[in-house]
Structure 1
Amino acid sequence: MTTTRPHPEDSAEQRLPYDVFAKGCPSRGTLEHVTGRWGALTLGALCGGSLRFNELRRRVDGVSEKMLSQTLHALERDGLVHREAQPTNPPRVDYELTPLGHEVARRVLSLIHFLEGRMDDVLQAHERYDETRGAR
């Protein structure tokens, strides 16, 4: 699955062992987990530190219990989130980012902050688009 393509931070071509653009590449699933709405928000929320399930659900406003559970399972399987179950009564489960998860979350948060800072431009583009589409 090795491919040659330019690296975004280096103009020289580099050999990469995976190619997300290839249909069967396993990196595609992880990219989906990280960049999906709930994955990106979950990673961003956990960047601030360990959270219990309900704390995380409150922080990621709008996510259902089922979707958060599925998202956490996927991110845990990808090695981005660590789940720590405490043997207490009632049981306590904490979620935190792994070192790899922290690296990914920092990159996701960088994109989130960039988009938040450019939302006026995006909203203006929406208006222009809607005006031209509505005129047809």
Structure 2
Amino acid sequence: MSRVSMFSSPLLLGFDQFERTFDRLAKNAEGYPPYNIERIGENGLRITLAVAGFTSGELAIELVENQLTVRGKQVEDGDRVYLHRGIAARQFQRAFMLADGIEVMGARLDNGLLSIDLVRPVLEPRIRTIRIDSGNAADSADHMIDITARRSR
């Protein structure tokens, strides 16, 4: 059974990467740890994860391309003997896809809450006029091949 892509419209060109990103994030949709995302001021964002029981040394934050990944791994204390264990020492990985231009400003662990501050830069609208050349279609195809060859060098 094939599924219909939300980016299958012929009016949406070059958005296939978004679809792959959505698929990857859907596979990473575990509910632990819980988190909030809030707006801070005009251009700021804050991701807050509930990571009670983790120290800063047991947490790692990594930004690769546009994917922000938070990992937590607690070390088992073999000296403890539990009569009841309701707080599991479990590892986690939570990923967030950031839009182009969003910058990570810093992170803070306070009272079991890991806060990651982000900022969205103010983008100026880009307006560009495209020149229309006249000529036959074969010349245009040769021109596009020449442009592509120059970019790949």
Judge same fold: TM > 0.5, yes or no.
no
**Structure with the higher fraction of residues in helix conformation:** 1
TM-score calculated relative to the size of structure 2: 0.26
TM-score calculated relative to the size of structure 1: 0.28
**Rg larger in structure:** 2
Identify which of structures 1 and 2 has the higher relative contact order when contacts are C-alpha pairs closer than 8 Å and 6+ apart: 2
**Structure with the higher fraction of residues in strand conformation:** 2
